[in-house]
Amino acid sequence: MKLIIKPNKGFGKIEVEINEELWGEIERLGERYGVSPERIIKIALTGEFKEPTGDLEGLEEKVRELEERTWELEKEYAPLRFKAYGLSEDNKILAIELSGLLAENGGLKRFLRMKPERNVELRKLISYYLQG
One-character DSSP codes across 112-124 = TTPPPP--HHHHH
> Residue-wise pLDDT tens for the chain (132 aa)?
777 777 777 777 777 788 888 888 988 988 988 888 888 887 877 777 777 777 888 889 999 999 999 999 999 999 999 999 999 999 999 999 999 999 999 999 999 999 888 888 999 999 998 887
Residues 42 and 61 in one domain: no
How many structural domains comprise the chain?
A: 2
Within a domain: 51: no
Residues 62 and 6 in one domain: no
Q: Are 118 and 128 in contact (CB under 8 A)?
A: no
Q: Give Cα 105 distance to the centre of its chain.
A: 43
Residues 32 and 75 in one domain: no
Within a domain: 12: yes
Residues 71 and 113 in one domain: yes
Residues 102 and 83 in one domain: yes
Residues 16 and 34 in one domain: yes
pLDDT of residue 109: 92
pLDDT of residue 44: 79
Q: pTM to 2 decimals? A: 0.48
pLDDT of residue 19: 85
Range of the domain at 66: 56-131
Within a domain: 74: yes
Residues 71 and 111 in one domain: yes
pLDDT of residue 119: 86
Residues 111 and 62 in one domain: yes
Residues 61 and 106 in one domain: yes
**Which residues lie below 8 Å from residue 36, measured CB to CB, with a gap of 6+?**
30
